[in-house]
Amino acid sequence: MVLAVLLGCSQVCFASRIKLACLYIVEEQDQILACHLKRKSDNSDSETTVKPTVFFTTVNRYATATSDFGDVDDTRSFTSEALLSKTRLKRLNRSLTKDKLKAIIRTRDQFETLNRIRFCSKYGAMDIFYRYGKINGVQITNFDDPTEFNDVELNEYGIALETPLHFLSDFNFNLRGAYKRIERKGVVEHKAYAEENINQFEGIAVFPQFLGSKKTNLEFKYVFQDIDPTPSGSTKRERKIFSTKLTQYTDFPSFAKEGSKVSCGVAYDKESYSDVDIIKSDLFFGTSIRGINDGAFDVNFNPTFFICEVKGKDSRDNLQFRTDLSLLYRLLNEEKKSLHLKFPLRYDFPLHGVCEFENFRTGFELGGDILYNDVTFSVSTGYAYQYFFDLQEGLNLFNFNISMAY
C-alpha cells in the first residue's frame, strides 16, 4: 500500500511522487502471468507445466484530476503554491488576486503506464519495471505569475528484490528493496524544458503478524532521493521520506461478513535545499467495515491531517484537515466476474495558511473484473465534482484505468 507532493518551493515536483496516499504504501499489485516455464519430467521425455515463475504487469491510467497519480494532498499543494507566490509578490506590495487563486486550482490532464516483469522463486521475487508519465499544464512556470503552466514528463526505470523472512514459528516479515532511476522534465522554475536526474532508493518492511497476532500488521517504508538538476543548472538536493502504518483486523461488528479493520499511521517527508527545508507530515486514522448485508456493502472512513512546514525562508506553513467517507456496493460478486459501485465523499477544511481552498468533492466510481480463458481484465472509471466555496470554482474530474492478469 501505499503516500505526497513537493510543496511551497520554487521547484515544486509533481511527477515523481512517492506514493504515500493517506499514509498507505501504494504498490501496484496487478500481475500478468507472461509464461509458464516448462521442464521435462524426471520419468518422462514429455514436458510438464510447473509452477508459474515469470509474471508481466501492465497498468494504464488516464485522468483529469487535481493531483498526480498516487497523490491525495491537492489542497495542501494549492495552499503551498499560493503562499510561495504571495511571498514573491511582497516585492510589489500586493497579494494574490482572486483570479490568480482560482488559476492555481487547475486540473491535470495526465496519462501513466507501468510495465513490470517479475521473477518468482521460493526465495522471493525480483522485479524489473519501467514507468512513463505525462501531465499536461501542471507545473507553474514562474511563481511571480502563477497563471502560466508547463507540461511535466517522467521516465522511470527500476529493479526491486523482495523476500520473506521467518523467525521461530510465530514471527515472520517481508523485506523489499528497490532502486529507481528517474528522468524528469518540466519541474524547474523558469525552465519549462529543463531535465533532472534522480537516484531513488527504497526499503520496505512488512510484519504481517506483529507481536504474534495474525490480525495485526505493521508496515515501514523509507525512501531516499538524490536529485541532480545538473543539466538545468539548479541546486542539487536530497529528499527523505519515512512512513509507518499499523492495522488491526477484527471480527466486529457481527453484521459485517468480512469483519472490519482499523489503521493509523504517520508519514514524514523532508526535502532539503541549500537554504530551506520543506517538511510535510501526514497523520492518518482509518476504519473500514466490510461485507455489510451479507457481503454487499463496505463503509470506509479516513480522516487525515496534512501538515506543511517551510524552514529557512519566510514562513509558508499550512495545515488542513480532511474528512473522507466512502460507500462501496457490490453489484456482482461471482467467481469469474465482479462489478462494484463506489460513492466517495470528502471535505477539506483549512486550519492554518490560506483559507480560500476549502472544498468538498463527491462522485462515483464503477469497476469490475472479468475472467476469460484464464485472463482477468480489470477496468474502472469514475467521475467526481469538486467545489471550492470561497472562490466559487467547480471542477469536473474523470478517471479511467485498465489492467489485466493471467
Listed residue (94, 127, 133) closest to 112, CA to CA = 133
Question: Does 67 map to a domain?
Answer: yes
* 187 and 12 Cβ atoms separated by less than 8 Å: yes
304: pLDDT strictly greater than 90: yes
Question: Does 370 map to a domain?
Answer: yes
330: pLDDT strictly greater than 70: yes
- Higher-confidence position of 192 and 150: 150
Report how far residue 196's alpha carbon sits from residue 182's, in angstroms, rounded to the nearest whole number: 8
Question: Does 118 map to a domain?
Answer: yes
Question: Does 3 map to a domain?
Answer: no
Question: Does 6 map to a domain?
Answer: no
Q: How many domains does the chain have?
A: 1
In sequence order, what are the residues at sequence separation of 6 or more whose Cβ sits closer than 8 angstroms to the Cβ of residue 394? Answer: 385, 386, 387, 388
Question: Does 123 map to a domain?
Answer: yes
Domain that holds residue 316: 20-405
pLDDT at res. 193? 85
The domain that holds 180 is classified in CATH as 2.40.160
Residue 368, H or E segment:
strand 359-372
The pTM (predicted TM-score) of the whole model is 0.85
Question: Does 84 map to a domain?
Answer: yes
8: pLDDT strictly greater than 70: no
* 260 and 253 Cβ atoms separated by less than 8 Å: yes
Question: Does 7 map to a domain?
Answer: no
pLDDT tens-digit readout, 333-358: 998 899 999 999 999 999 998 999 99
R_g of the chain, CA atoms, integer Å = 23
What is the CA 136 to chain-centroid distance, rounded?
A: 19
pLDDT at res. 213? 65
pLDDT tens-digit readout, 268-289: 999 988 788 999 999 999 999 9
